Amino acid sequence: MAATQVTEVAPRRRRIPPVVWLIAPSVLFMAALMGWPTISGLIQAFKTGDGFGFDNFARMAADPFFWPAVRNTLLLIVILIPVQFALALGMALLLRAKPKLSGLYFYIWAIPLAVSDLAAGLVWLSIFTDHGYLNSFLSHLGIDGVNWLSYDSNTSMFFAVFIAELWRATSLVLVIVVAGMQGIPKDYDEAAQVFGASYWQRLRHVTLPLLRPSLQVALILRTILAFQTFAVAQALTGRDFPVLVGETYNWYVALRNPSVASALALVILAISMITAIVYLRALRDPSDKGGKR
Q: Global pTM?
A: 0.81
> For residue 16, what pLDDT is reported?
80
Cα angle value 274/275/281 (rounded, 5°): 90
CA distance 291 to 233: 44
The rounded percent of the chain whose pLDDT value lies above 70 is 92
Distances (CA, A) of 242 to 69, 88, 257, 269: 5, 27, 18, 18
> For residue 65, what pLDDT is reported?
92
SS3 98: coil
In sequence order, which residues have a C-beta less than 8 Å from that of residue 271 and are 6 or more positions away?
227
Maximum CA pair distance of the chain?
Answer: 121
CA distance 23 to 1: 57
User: Are 41 and 262 spatial neighbours (Cβ–Cβ below 8 Å)?
Assistant: yes
What separation, in Å, do the N-terminal and C-terminal C-alpha atoms of the chain show?
62
The residues pairing with 47 across neighbouring beta strands, listed in sequence order, are 52
Neighbours of 200 (CB within 10 A): 8
DSSP codes of every residue in 64-77: TTHHHHHHHHHHHH
> For residue 9, what pLDDT is reported?
63
Q: Which amino acid is at 8?
A: E
Tell me the pLDDT band of 293, cut-offs 50, 70 and 90: very low
What pLDDT, in 10s, does the model give residues 21-80? Answer: 888 888 888 888 888 888 888 899 998 888 888 899 999 999 999 999 999 999 999 999
What pLDDT, in 10s, does the model give residues 101-113? Answer: 878 888 888 888 8
